[in-house]
Amino acid sequence: MALEFTDDNFEQEVLQSDVPVVVDFWATWCGPCRQIAPVIEQLATENPGIKIGKMDVDANQSTPMKYGISSIPSILYFKGGEVVENVLGLQPKATLQKLIDKHK
């Protein structure tokens, strides 16, 4: 199951994580975000050993601003507290899985 990241838990859950983290920046009003949501859930279930979660950009504004999120969905891959990959827009599951595999 995908985790829920917030401004309050981002540092601990993402930046200080000892495993890679995938963060899907999304909003409830965003059609493509709702389309990719089941894919994010599947990836979270199928990839134990890394953290995969979502951050609602309306409820949490400081973290998306810090990372320059200007369009959603935006998916950032973090490793060692640093962004190693940034994917914009609706993407097929296979594309996202390849990026996860690349950064494990």
d(CA 55, CA 34): 13
Nearest C-alpha neighbor of 96 from the set 79, 76, 71, 80: 76
* Residue 30 known to be catalytic: yes
* Residue 33 known to be catalytic: yes
Catalytic residue among 14, 22, 23, 30: 30
Catalytic residue among 33, 36, 40, 55: 33
d(CA 21, CA 14): 6
Query: Which residues are marked as active site?
Result: 30, 33
